[in-house]
Amino acid sequence: DVGIYSLLLILSFNLYPIHHPKEAQDPSFPKPVLSLETMKEITTGQRVTMLCGTQGEVKRFYLQKDNFHDWSIHSDMNMFTISDVSNKDAGRYSCSYTSVRQPYLLSEPSNPVKLLLTDPYFPRPIISLGPTELVAFGGNVTFQCQSKKFSTRFYIQKSGEEMLQPCLGTDETTAQCFVSNVDQAHTGEYSCRYSDSSVMSRIVMPHAFSLADPDLPRPSISFHPSPMPQLGENITIQCSVNNSYKAWYLYKDDGKKELQSVEASSSDAVFLIKNVSEADGGSYYCNYRPQSGFHHVVLMVISLLWALFLWTDPNLYIPTISMSPSNLVAFGEQVTIRCETGKEAMMFYLHKDGDPSLNWTMETELYHGTLSIHNVSWDNKGSYSCSYVAEKRPKALSLQSDPTELLISGKSLNPRLRIYVHQMPQPKPTYNCNQ
């Protein structure tokens, strides 16, 4: 009999008062669940409450700390309160219980809950997101948590959830916190903290990422009046899609920072950049958020200048343009356009007069760029000029070269010998009626 066995232990060894249970666990008891009263930051002097939840008739609840088998903390209710918490109270807690029918048998321990105290003198960490804030379904997100104080334990926490998730890849001041195979359930704001033993830093301001839905239509992006403004000019960036959506966002280069947003239900959005400076040069793209809360990003095509914004520097060397074999080409033949400069160039661009949006990337060598048009058609006829981006100034575009005109002939220009046969006129016959 369990009760008699416990009583004999008490009489023989004087281990426990009579109300303490035997540590044998009954697997038929439902496992309890221990939870900590929702508090983002717990500092010394505050009131802390832990709840031990279970089903069935319970005689008494017990609370353990740091896996130490001390059953002196008990209660007839499922609530344990520390009215004036201090550093000595920090640690790992679990709870068990005894039933009315078997008051000397304990249930198995609950899930562990860690009580960490916040030290207001610990500097707040810094959280950042990489490689981008826009993530596709099934992709991975990496948060970086950085502290000024040495620590080997970093945690990430999603807003609205109590559980702290430990971060991997930790060194003394930085940790990589991973969220893998993301879906809609992972969206939201995340914050990070670090701890020193049982003392925790303050929580950092939360950071969020956006989820891209591949089933949404992809928006288009364009620059007006041109993707190559002069310094000091104004330029507008227009994003469009064939439907009305709740909000639009504009990003630049690596997409880590949102530049502008427009909260309006519309099929397009216009973003204005005033007084263009050298820092405004770069690659831009936009996305939108429908009612469901997803984001979708337009893929940026670097080979076209439609999504690349370069400012024009009149101080750069002006290139020259030429055509080979000549600027007069037969229909269906090939012509090669060459752009040259006396300075090192990172990229050459070809422009056609009358179409500011039409810009081709030329095959670039150090001092020149070339572009070949195969099977020339009537659409290729027109005036062309070229420009380049300097090697040491990757967002500065030169002025365009003087134009040269591509002429197209309807007949082959190769000389051939042509023989024409003409029929000589014959004399008219005369007739003598007497003969």
pLDDT in tens, 365-424: 878 999 999 999 998 999 999 999 887 787 788 889 999 999 998 755 454 444 444 454
Residues ≥6 apart with Cβ < 8 Å to 326: none
Structure tokens at 212: 């891209």
Query: Cα dist. 283→223, 230, 301, 394, 396 in Å?
Result: 11, 17, 9, 11, 13
Percent of the chain with pLDDT over 90: 13
Distance from C-alpha of 247 to C-alpha of 251, rounded to nearest angstrom: 14
Which pLDDT band holds residue 16 (cuts at 50, 70, 90)? very low
Query: Both tokens of residue 128?
Result: 């950042």
Mean pLDDT, to the nearest integer, of 244-263?
A: 74
Asked if the model's pLDDT at residue 250 lies above 80, the reply is: yes
Tokens 């790992």 locate to 92
CA-CA-CA-CA torsion sign (22, 24, 28, 33): positive
**For the segment 338-378, what is each residue's pLDDT rounded down to a tens digit?**
999 887 888 898 988 877 655 788 888 878 999 999 999 99
CATH of domain 2-117: 2.60.40.10
Q: Does domain 126-212 have CATH number 3.40.50.150?
A: no
What's the confidence (pLDDT) of residue 125? Answer: 84
Q: Would you place residue 169 in the very low, low, confident or very high pLDDT band (cuts 50, 70, 90)?
A: low
CATH number of 220-311: 2.60.40.10
Average pLDDT of the chain is 76
User: CA 266, CA 245: separation in Å to the nearest integer?
Assistant: 6
The backbone torsions φ and ψ at residue 162, rounded to the nearest 5 degrees and listed phi first, read -85, -30
**Letter for the amino acid at 42?**
I
Report the pLDDT value the prediction gives residue 331, as an integer from 0 to 100.
92
Q: How far apart are CA 156 and CA 164, in angstroms?
A: 6
Q: What is the Cα 122 distance to its own chain's centre?
A: 30
Under DSSP, the state recorded for 292 is T
Parallel, antiparallel or unpaired: strands 345-352 and 368-373? unpaired
Count CA atoms within 13 Å of residue 248 on its CB side: 25
Residue 335's pLDDT band (boundaries 50, 70, 90)? very high
What distance in Å separates the CA atoms of residue 191 and residue 209, rounded to the nearest whole number? 12
Intrachain domains 2-117 and 220-311 with the same fold:
yes
* More reliable by pLDDT, 65 or 289: 65
Q: Percent helix, strand and coil across the chain, each rounded to 5? A: 5, 45, 45
User: pLDDT over 70 for what percent of the chain?
Assistant: 76
User: Does the structure show a pLDDT above 80 at 333?
Assistant: yes
Architecture of domain 313-409: Sandwich (2.60)
The pLDDT tens digits for 84-102 are 888 888 888 999 998 888 8
SS3 state at 10: helix
d(CA 51, CA 111): 12
Q: Kindly list the domain boundaries of the chain, sorted by start residue.
A: 2-117, 126-212, 220-311, 313-409
For 255-261, what is the mean pLDDT?
Answer: 73
More confident residue, 67 or 222: 222
> Hey, is 323 helix, strand or coil?
strand
Residue 283 CB neighbour total at 10 angstroms: 17
Q: How many CB atoms lie within 10 A of CB 44?
A: 15
In the predicted model, what is the mean pLDDT of residues 119-141?
Answer: 77
* pLDDT score at 418: 45
Inform me whether the pLDDT recorded for 337 exceeds 90: yes
pLDDT at 295 over 50: no
Which segments of 54-136 does DSSP mark as H helices, in order? none
At 279 the three-state DSSP class reads helix
Q: Are 6 and 22 in contact (CB under 8 A)?
A: yes
What local confidence, expressed as pLDDT, does residue 189 receive? Answer: 81
